[in-house]
Amino acid sequence: MRPGFLRSLAGIWLLTWRTEMHWKRMLIRIPGLFVLPVLIFMALSEAKVVFSRTSQRPEPAIVLNEFAVRLQAMNMPLDNERLARLSAIFHEEFERSAARWRNSSRLISAEEQNAEMKDCYDRIRRRARTVLDEPQFVQLQSFINETSRSRMARQPLWNWTLPFYQVLLNLYFFLVLPLMCVRAAGGLIRDELQADTLGFLVTRPITRARLLLAKYLAHAGWMQILLAIQTGLIFAAAAWCGVPGLAKLLPLFLAVQFLAVLAWNALGVFLGQLTRRYIALALLYGFVIEMGIGRIPTNINNLSLMRHLKTLLAHDAPLQVMFEWSPQGTPFSVCAVLLAAVLFVGLAAALFTWFEYHHRAEMQA
C-alpha cells in the first residue's frame, strides 16, 4: 500500500470536516457568522440618519423663500411664473450638487463643500439671468453673496457607506480574519498534541512533512469555505442597506481573501510549530511587521502581508480613493503572498520533521 498524497489529503479532509461539522460546533459557529453582518446593518442604518443630519447642504425651498421675501420687502415681488421657473432652477442645481456628494465614497472636506456650493450658486446665477429683470438680478447677486458667507460649511461631510468599508476592512479583513486563521492553524499540531491524539497520525505510513502539508491544506480549505460564507453574509447585509458597487467589489474581495486565508493559515501553522504560545507570537508579529515595518514607505514594507493585500484590493476604485491605496505592483504582490504561504508551510514542515513534538513534553511545558 503506497499512499499517494491526494489520498492522504482525502483522509485528513474527512477527519477535518467531520469534526468541524459536529452539531455542538455548528451551534456556536452559525450564530457567530451573523455577528458582523448584524453589526454592519446597525452601523449603516445609523449612518444614513447621521449623514442626512450632518449634511450641511441648505434646502433650496428655504433659500428661495428667503430671496422671495427680500424682493417683496423691496417692492420687487416675483410673479408666479418667475417664481416657478426660479424654484425649478434652485431645485435642479441643488440636487445636482447633492447627487455628486451622495455618490462620492469618501470624506468630503469643508473646503470642497464650500467650493461645490459656490459652483452651485454660480450656475443658479447664470440661469436666473434669463428669468429675472435687472433690479431683481442685482438683488439675487447680493443675496447669494450673503447666503454663501452665512452658510459656509465648517466640518467634513462623510459618506454614509463609510462604516461598511471600515467594518469590512479594518475590522473583518485586517483583524478578525487573520486572527481566526492564525488561531485555528496554529493549533493544527498543538491541539492534537494536547489531546494526545497525534500518535494516531504520525504512525501512519506518511512522512511527517506530508502529514503537516495535508493538515494545512485541509484546514485552509475549510477556512476558505467558512470565510466565504462569512463574507457573503457581510455583503448581503450591506446590499440590504443599499450600499452601491458591491457587485463589482465582491469577486475581487473573495479572490484577495482566498490568498489572504492561504497566507495567514501558513503563518499560523509556522508559529504553531515554533511555540505553544503562538497567539502571543502572532500578536508580536502583527505589531512589529504589519503595523510597524509595513508602514515604512520604503521597500522594506514588502515584508508585510497586509501591504500586499492592500495593493490587490486597491483595484476597487472606491477603496483606492477612500484608503489611498495604490494598485501598482499587483503581480509582485500576488507572488509575494503566495511565496510567504509556501515559505511558512515549508518551514513548519521542516520543524515538524526535525523535532519530535511529544505529548509528554507538551504537557510539561
Instruction: Point out which residues bind another protein (CB under 8 A).
Output: 1-4, 7-8, 10-12, 14-15, 18-19, 22, 24-25, 195-197, 199-208, 211, 214, 353, 356, 358-361
What Rg do the C-alpha atoms of the chain give, in angstroms? Answer: 30
Q: Which residues pair with 157 in a beta bridge?
A: 108
Cβ neighbours around 136 below 10 Å, total: 18
Q: Tell me the CB-side half-sphere exposure of residue 50, using CA atoms within 13 A.
A: 14
Question: Which residue's CB is nearer to another protein, number 3 or number 156?
Answer: 3
Least Cβ distance, residue 176 to another protein (angstroms): 25
Question: Which residue's CB is nearer to another protein, number 23 or number 149?
Answer: 23
Residue 199: in which H helix or E strand, if any?
Answer: helix 198-202
Question: Which residue's CB is nearer to another protein, number 203 or number 299?
Answer: 203
Least Cβ distance, residue 206 to another protein (angstroms): 5
Question: Which residue's CB is nearer to another protein, number 20 or number 119?
Answer: 20
Least Cβ distance, residue 277 to another protein (angstroms): 20
Question: Which residue's CB is nearer to another protein, number 155 or number 197?
Answer: 197
Q: Tell me the CB-side half-sphere exposure of residue 200, using CA atoms within 13 A.
A: 7
In this structure, are residues 359 and 193 in contact, taking their beta carbons and an 8 Å threshold?
yes
- Residue corresponding to grid cell 509556522: 270
C-alpha cell of 17? 470536516
C-alpha cell of 237? 447585509
Question: Which residue's CB is nearer to another protein, number 123 or number 359?
Answer: 359
Q: Determine the residue type at 162.
A: L
Using DSSP, state whether 3 is helix, strand or coil.
coil
Least Cβ distance, residue 344 to another protein (angstroms): 21
Tell me the Ramachandran region of residue 196: left when phi exceeds 0, alpha when psi lies from -120 to 50, beta otherwise.
Answer: left
Question: Which residue's CB is nearer to another protein, number 15 or number 303?
Answer: 15
Question: Which residue's CB is nearer to another protein, number 106 or number 210?
Answer: 210
Least Cβ distance, residue 191 to another protein (angstroms): 10
Cβ neighbours around 310 below 10 Å, total: 23
Whole-Å CA distances, 199 to 60, 66, 159, 185, 300: 76, 84, 56, 19, 42
CA–CA gap between residue 355 and residue 299 (Å, rounded): 35
